[in-house]
Amino acid sequence: MARTRTWKAGVAFTAAMMSMGCSSQDEESTPTPTAEPKEYAALVRGQLASMDLTDAKLTHDQIASQAEEAARAAGDIAHDVLLGTALLDSIPNEFLAIDRWTDAQAMQGFYADPVVQQAFGGLFATPPTIEYFELAREWVSWGDMTSGDAHDPYYVHLALGTLRAADPAEARAAHDQVAAGGKQPSIDAGNVAHVVFTGLADARRFVAVDIWQSDDNIEPFYTNPQFRMAFGPLFESVTEPVYQSTDWHQW
């Protein structure tokens, strides 16, 4: 389908980046955050055993529907299923589940269960990659993990990698400066959420889940030279796959 939307975020992003030196992140005027329950995420990524997506969906949906009650009881509050696109660092039709949990120990125990691992054997060509993260509420963010629900389909860009700064405060400050400068340009381009998680076992592991209402402007935004100049130095290494939402069984 031809894309007719005009992308105008580049100039706005440049202006925003130039103004970051006088960012409004003034500690004296920032409200003290209230304590909120911790939230965790498991990213499950892998190559599907079947190249026929209809068959793969049936296999997944049977597994997920059977496991849902036990997963929810253990603290799994959301199971979102997406498939890889051809954008940026994506692997077409790579499976991604983002499971959000209220209990880190229960989360890790669930995926270690031999029954779950056996079920994965029927869904994936090889064992999937599973990484565990904690929601970083205090980092600059906007929207939430449900912000894509108003759009069908919606798209998720992951900035998944290892932060360059070893000191968490330094890493957060560097991220927050870039995110604050890029917030309005990304929203103008169709971004509806930027949600940050850091590694559960390694604080330098990082994933930002950026949710987009369409795929029109994803590549132009993330390949914009001004964005690359600001974004690249945050990471020792990073990949940027893009996924599309599905109608597979989820909650």
Which amino acid is located at 225 in the chain? P
Would you tell me how many other CB atoms lie within 10 Å of the CB of residue 7? 15
In a domain, 136, yes or no: yes
- Domain count for the chain: 1
The domain in which residue 125 lies consists of: 37-245
In a domain, 7, yes or no: no
In a domain, 3, yes or no: no
CA dihedral sign of residues 137, 143, 149, 153: negative
In a domain, 15, yes or no: no
> Is residue 47 within 8 Å of 94, Cβ to Cβ?
yes
- Mark out the alpha helices in the chain (DSSP H runs): 9-18, 53-74, 104-112, 114-123, 168-189, 218-222, 225-231
Taking the model in full, what pTM does it have? 0.86
In a domain, 65, yes or no: yes
> Is residue 76 within 8 Å of 100, Cβ to Cβ?
yes
Provide the CATH number for the domain around residue 110: 3.30.70.100
Pick from 102, 163, 96: nearest CA to 131: 96
User: What was the pLDDT predicted at 19?
Assistant: 40
Mean pLDDT of the chain, nearest integer: 90
In a domain, 100, yes or no: yes
Which amino acid is located at 213 in the chain? Q
Phi, psi for 186 (deg, rounded to 5)? -70, -40
CA angle 31, 160, 233 (to 5 degrees): 75
What distance separates the 2 farthest-apart alpha carbons in the chain? Answer: 56
Q: Which residue ranges in the chain fall short of pLDDT 70?
A: 1-34
In a domain, 23, yes or no: no
User: What was the pLDDT predicted at 36?
Assistant: 86
